[in-house]
């Protein structure tokens, strides 16, 4: 006994043989007095039965059936639909529907979108839209309303193949979120952020933000409210400064 999808595929092939367009066939499959298939099954019939490209399938679902962008994205992504990667979905959504990176991220993240995690959205934006870490940070802040600590954590815990060190994360959140060096220091040090020790924070500020030892010391003082004695210790042990250089830096803080 044929399944509902197999019956729909047979109907689609018969309609195509009779000269019906893919748009007309999709409507016939979707309407209540026809098979009334769910959109994921229709997407499979269009691709596998009528040999339509992924782009053409997406356009038919959106413009012919009048489906929302999220519904189209779900049909492309879910296993019982076209089973595309999130990156492929992101690429189609931006290129064919002229969405901004922010709009794409919103369609991918949580409900009512694809219900992806922050790490999965980042991977999709990097692979599908070729965004930099700084651009991803900006999208997460403006589009998904995530805080700096959460964004830093997502960037640092990125999936395999997108390896960012702490210096690169520091640069991305400074430039993407327009943060001061002191604010970056707080994010890197915070338990909800990267939970780094003071020496690691100092090195990330130096290497990621290209700060001088004096600028690092000022950021540690303003951002973490460290004492002069602690800052001197961080400069010596964290940045490997000699005692004379530490003294020069500390004189510049007073």
3-state secondary structure 153-176: HHHHCCCCCCCCCHHHHHHHHHHH
Query: Which stretch of 38-42, 214-218, 219-223 has the lowest confidence by average pLDDT?
Result: 38-42
Task: Mean pLDDT check: name the lowest of 100-114, 132-146, 174-188.
Answer: 100-114
Which stretch of 29-33, 38-42, 93-97 has the lowest confidence by average pLDDT? 29-33
User: 7-21: per-residue pLDDT in tens?
Assistant: 778 888 888 899 999
pLDDT tens, residue by residue, 145-197: 999 999 999 999 987 778 899 999 999 999 999 999 999 999 999 999 999 99
Nearest Cα to 186, choosing from 213, 214, 225, 153?
225
Instruction: Please count the residues of the chain.
Output: 254
Please report, to the nearest 10 degrees, the dihedral formed by the alpha carbons of residues 152, 156, 160, 161 taken in order: 80
CB half-sphere exposure, 172, CA atoms < 13 A = 27
From 30-34, 117-121, 133-137, 160-164, the region with the lowest mean pLDDT: 30-34
- Residue listed under structure tokens 């690092």: 216
Neighbouring-strand partners of residue 214:
none
């Amino acid at each position: 006994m044929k399944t509902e999808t197999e019956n729909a595929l047979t109907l689609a092939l018969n309609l195509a043989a009779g000269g019906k367009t893919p748009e007309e066939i999709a409507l016939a499959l979707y309407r209540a007095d026809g098979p009334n298939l769910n959109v994921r099954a229709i997407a499979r019939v269009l691709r596998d039965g009528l040999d339509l490209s992924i782009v053409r399938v997406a356009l038919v679902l959106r413009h012919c059936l009048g489906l929302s962008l999220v519904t189209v994205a779900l049909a492309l992504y879910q296993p019982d639909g076209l089973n595309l990667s999130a990156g492929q979905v992101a690429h189609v959504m931006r290129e064919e529907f002229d969405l901004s990176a922010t709009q794409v991220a919103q369609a991918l993240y949580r409900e009512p979108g694809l219900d992806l995690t922050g790490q999965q959205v980042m991977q999709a934006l990097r692979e599908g839209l070729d965004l930099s870490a700084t651009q991803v940070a900006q999208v997460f802040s403006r589009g998904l309303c995530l805080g700096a600590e959460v964004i830093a954590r997502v960037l640092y815990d990125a999936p395999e193949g997108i390896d960012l060190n702490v210096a690169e994360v520091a640069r991305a959140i400074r430039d993407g979120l327009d943060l001061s060096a002191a604010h970056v220091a707080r994010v890197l040090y915070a338990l909800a952020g990267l939970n780094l020790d003071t020496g690691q924070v100092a090195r990330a500020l130096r290497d990621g933000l290209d700060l001088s030892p004096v600028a690092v010391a000022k950021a540690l003082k303003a951002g973490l409210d460290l004492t002069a004695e602690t800052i001197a210790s961080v400069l010596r042990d964290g940045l490997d400064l000699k005692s004379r250089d530490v003294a020069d830096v500390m004189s510049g803080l007073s």
